[in-house]
A and B are shown apart, each in its own frame.
Chain A
Amino acid sequence: MLNAKDILETITMIQEEHLDVRTITMGISLLDCCDSNIDTLCRKVYDKITRCAKDLVRTGEAIEKELGIPIVNKRISITPAAMVLAGCENRDAVKLALALERAATTCGVNFLGGFSALVHKGFSAGDRELIEAIPEALSVTDHICASVNVGSTKAGINMDAVALMGRIVRQAAELTADRGCIGPAKLVVLCNAPEDNPFMAGAFHGVGEPDCVINAGVSGPGVVRAALAKAGPDKDLGEIAEIIKKTAFKITRMGQLVAQEASSRLGVPFGIVDLSLAPTPAVGDSVAYILEEIGLAECGGHGTTAALAMLNDAVKKGGVMASSHVGGLSGAFIPVTEDAGMIAAARSGCLRIEKLEAMTSVCSVGLDMINIPGDTPAEVISAIIADEAAIGMVNSKTTAVRVIPAIGKMVGEELNFGGLLGEGPVMPLNTASPAVFINRGGRIPAPMQSLKN
């Protein structure tokens, strides 16, 4: 039986603590759209996406209103586009990107992810063409997100792809320099990319997935922070972890409800709930502020990694019982420009890229939404990618790099993307040249951890 206290708690979470469902993402397989003619392919792709997702936004909005919980984003993820493109005679990936953009606009979604290639062991047909087209594709579209998987625990790291992606990230920034370098904010380089991730920019619809599926990603850093603030400074860390677990459970139950509701109304199978704590630039909706509530003077100081490890673990433990199927990234995100507390810590100089790298070894993703100096050489970007991929590969976890070279800007200047992508300062990098290492190419062999059979 419901009591007044529970009802008011839920309403406070939504009204004052920014509780929301961050995204419902419809995964759509495009494998049946392959064609040797690019124009026919584009038509089939447009038709299938607009057919499957025609009611996605409307259904999301109806659920939002009935349950009274904001569903911030309605998104689509597709089969990695390189696979769809592979059978084409003329692999014009930009043309495909434009068809995807039209489909995304028709459906009214916020983002469409899956302009992707999986090259962790090597390039196959279509992969290179797609990757080379990413900078242009991101500059001529607004809703398309690209991702490239360059490593995995089982396969090792494809260093040729790592070297290539350093250049691609730079080009994506250069081509969109007149629009605040927005290109690379929609491009992520992954290791151990999950196939059912509902969050952008890394979402794509894996080949083992059903034809069409609904995944949901929850949010709620503000709720966790408020719960910790109520607890006060006297609780020990066991008790703090317990509070985080209970809060994560409630947040995830709501995500599960929304996902199931969307799945049954759309007649599409329910895939997973992603248990991530996804921050927004809104004050109070920050992962950094949770860490500060746990007891750090400022995010980025010593102790940050330990506090984040505990937070990440407690979120999973609380969330896992609340959902019938958990997947995606499931952990705390640390995107610098999307998190008010991280923006503040980066501006003050307390949060540095070296600390962020350490944090990525215990949280769900990686170096995310970090502005770097505009004159950063491609090899340095590649080396950042290689470091992150190594952390993911060895620890059997997903890691990623989404850095934005701020063309024409130096350390301390700012980039503002607006909306959920936020804003932030250009952060300093260690620029000792890794050029020889990067240019060696080849493949870093899979680690011992891969030999589990």
Chain B
Amino acid sequence: MRAVITVVGKDAVGILAKVSGRCSEHRVNVTEVTQSILQDMFCMIMMVDISACDIPFTALVDEMAALGQANGLVIHCMHEDIFNAMHTI
């Protein structure tokens, strides 16, 4: 099972470390990362494997959202099914 984590916000030191650190805490494996910095806006998309995640996925969603809030970022964590449904036939 995979999920997509998107992080958008003002660029700062350690964003990638904070998000991936939280992933590793919960045994969520980061399989792919794309990131770009436009002017000073940071935008990152992570594909993660949640098969071994040690908490329910909904709890991970909440944690990531809270992590974002605490750092002035917007973090969405969504199951990959919604993207597959919408963009593949």
Contacts and interface: CB of A to CB of B under 8 A. Distances in A.
B86 A253 contact: yes
Interface in B60-86: 61-62, 76-86
B85 A254 contact: yes
Interface string A49-75: 000000000000010011111000000
Contacts of A2: 4, 47, 80, 83-84, 87
Contact-residue bracket for chain B? 20 to 34
B76 A250 contact: no
A11 interface: yes
Given A10-B82, A10-B83, A4 B47 contact: no
B86 A68 contact: no
Contacts of B83: 2, 6-7, 10
A261 B81 CA distance: 10
B47 A66 contact: no
B81 A4 contact: no
Contacts of A256: 85
A133 interface: no
Contacts of A164: none
B58 A65 contact: yes
Interface of A: 2, 4, 6-11, 62, 65-69, 250, 253-254, 256-257, 261
Interface of B: 4, 6, 34, 45, 47, 57-58, 61-62, 76-87
25 contacts: A2-B83, A4-B45, A6-B86, A6-B87, A7-B4, A7-B83, A8-B6, A9-B87, A10-B83, A11-B78, A65-B58, A65-B62, A66-B57, A66-B61, A66-B78, A66-B79, A67-B81, A68-B61, A68-B77, A68-B78, A250-B86, A253-B86, A254-B82, A257-B81, A257-B85
